[in-house]
Amino acid sequence: MGISRDVESRRRCCFTGPPRTHSPCFPDPGVPLSTTNDHLIDQAAPSGATDPDTADPVAADPVAANPIPAEPKTFAELGVSTPIVEALASHGITTAFPIQEMCLGLALQGRDVIGQAKTGTGKTLGFGLPLIQRIAAPASDDYAQLPEAAQNKPQGLIVCPTRELALQVATDIEQAGAGLGIRVLSIYGGRAYEPQIDALRAGIDVIVGTPGRIIDLAGRGDLDLSHVRELVLDEADEMLDMGFLPDVEKIVALIPSNRQTMLFSATMPGQIIALARRYMNQPTHMRASDPGDDSAIVDAIEQHVWRAHPMDKLELLARVLQAKDRGLTMIFTRTKRKAQKITDDLTERGFAVGSVHGDLGQGAREQALRAFRSGKVDVLVATDVAARGIDVDGVTHVINYECPDDEKTYLHRIGRTGRAGASGVAVTLVDWEDIARWQMIDRALKLPFKDPLETYSTSPHVLTGLGVPEGTTGRLPKGQRTRAGLSAEQVEDVGETGKRTGGPRSRDDRRGGNGQRSGGSERHGSTASSGQSSSGQSSSNKSSSNKSSSTQESNNSSGSSSSDASKPRRRRRRRTHGGKPTGGNAAS
């Protein structure tokens, strides 16, 4: 939840009314896909008095459109209750962004809403404030009127695609609802079940979680969703993608149909909007953008796209990280292995680096994010688990170490900077083999970077374009190594499930922690930690084995009581001479 409020660039509000008469599954061929089933309206942000069903469309009278006032409205003017306004003011937030102005009027009335705005423009509060205000707070009179079975049960549910986003949204909702005593719980995988179950039994008003853990707890009977009346899908285009869609359908089936549903994202393709209407009741699609601005990228983000050689990328990256006035920086990669390799390499070069990717345990991922937010590390290397919704103040640079997979990924990645009116820099490094993929992204977003400039670590435009000082090398000077580092942030014991608490094992870890190969300690004369001898048997098992062997040999006709003596006889039995066994048993 950003604190700075730069309102130099205001947005024109464009929202849509009830669906057309034709089926949403078969769009009107005369309407562009992005506006299918949308009744476009251009007017001031609604404050609750404007009914989109009766408003005049722009096409009928473009001159009659009412622009947004130059000055933003306060949350109190938009109908937000006093306790929420005071809680926001305590964090330095008093005025609303355009998407918030647009959504609050209708959402506070209980209307279903599809909200779309550029990254970093306040979508979390756009759905969070109506949700908080519409549920019954524990200390309110409305709460006492709830049925006894509904008390202490969740009334609001926010579903997020990633653990990091769920944790962040839960923090924002808890801060905004502090004045009402709203009880918020984040539930997601990687943490122990028991603390989450205990909190649910004690009573929770709002759940923020990921689909997998929500379904798990509901299936166990620990999470009751039958009293939820506010449902939010954050990053809705990702939630309604084919990967998440079955889980979302399971969750929606557990929630009463007489609910309010809100969907928010920076990217909302027409197919996703048509699919979303299956779960909504006459939704209003609101889209905030500048007048005549078709770009989905915040204007305050300075973009650089360079064609780089894989063998020179790390050196180039290390020099970019020494740019003038660089603050916190996020580096995105496609794979977990590449993220960890970059982290290790940059750490060796003197940078304070943390990483967030799927091979890390939840405790290590949260440790890296806390260290990044607090400034103990100023570089965070991550896969796309951190590309959506993560809001960290002071991120000035975003670097795509590899070409993103598609235009949506590119938008969400670079949207980690330039948030809440601040400016930022985005650098994308494109390999030779990824030129075709990048050109598809460039064409989809209408960018002017069809042919990326060939760039090396020694290229002059790296120095001039980003303000890298002359004579900069690929290692951070010792005088500039002032960050405390990742080790200064304590790892929280989250009772992880199925993951290691730390990062990937080092070579020594794989060798058993003492430089020896796992399972090979007996070669060096050491004793295994489980109490086993060099032969692999415990002393008690060996003793009983010898005792049994002694008993058996005492009954043997040979009269030998030594277990060692029995082994040569067995070998002699296997020797033959002329087809007959030799040795002591030959006569028998």
Q: What is the pLDDT of residue 314?
A: 97
**What tens digit of pLDDT does each residue of 121-174 get?**
889 999 999 999 999 999 898 999 999 999 999 999 999 999 989 999 999 999
- Record the pTM: 0.69
Q: What is the pLDDT of residue 390?
A: 80
How many helices (H) and strands (E) the chain has is answered by 19, 18
Q: What is the pLDDT of residue 134?
A: 96
Residue 298 has pLDDT above 80, yes or no: no
**Rounded mean pLDDT, 468-481:** 94
Identify which has the larger pLDDT, 441 or 7. Answer: 441
Task: Tell me the three-class secondary structure of 280-312, residue by residue.
Answer: CCCCEEEEEECCCCCCCCCCCEEEEEEEECCCC
Residue-averaged pLDDT of the chain:
78
**What tens digit of pLDDT does each residue of 559-580 get?**
444 444 444 555 555 555 555 5
CA gap 248, 232 in Å, rounded:
11
Residue 421 has pLDDT above 50, yes or no: yes
pLDDT band at 261 (very low <50, low <70, confident <90, very high): very high
Closest C-alpha to 521, from 19, 530, 376:
530
**What tens digit of pLDDT does each residue of 422-452 get?**
889 999 999 999 999 999 999 999 999 999 9
Fold of the CATH domain 12-289:
Rossmann fold (3.40.50)
CA gap 91, 176 in Å, rounded:
9
Judge whether 421 and 391 are in contact, CB under 8 Å: no
Q: Do domains 12-289 and 301-489 have the same CATH topology?
A: yes
CA gap 308, 76 in Å, rounded:
51
CA gap 110, 287 in Å, rounded:
18
Fold of the CATH domain 301-489:
Rossmann fold (3.40.50)
Percent of the chain with pLDDT over 70: 71
Delimit the domains of the chain by residue range.
12-289, 301-489
Task: Tell me the three-class secondary structure of 68-117, residue by residue.
Answer: CCCCCCECCCCCCCHHHHHHHHCCCCCECCHHHHHHHHHHCCCCCEEEEC
Q: Using the structure block, give the residue that is written with the tokens 């990256």.
A: 317
**What tens digit of pLDDT does each residue of 310-319 get?**
999 999 999 9
**Rounded mean pLDDT, 92-110:** 92
C-alpha distances (whole Å) from 423 to each of 298, 326, 394, 419, 495 are 9, 12, 10, 7, 39
Sign of the C-alpha dihedral computed for residues 376, 379, 383 and 389 taken in this order: positive
By DSSP bridging, strand 40-42 and strand 12-16 are antiparallel
Q: What is the pLDDT of residue 574?
A: 52
What lies within 8 Å, CB to CB, of 478 at 6+ separation is 350
* Beta bridge partners of residue 330, listed in sequence order: 380, 398
Range in 50-64, 165-179, 252-266 the model is least confident about: 50-64
CA gap 178, 466 in Å, rounded:
42
Identify which has the larger pLDDT, 404 or 527. Answer: 404
CA gap 364, 372 in Å, rounded:
12
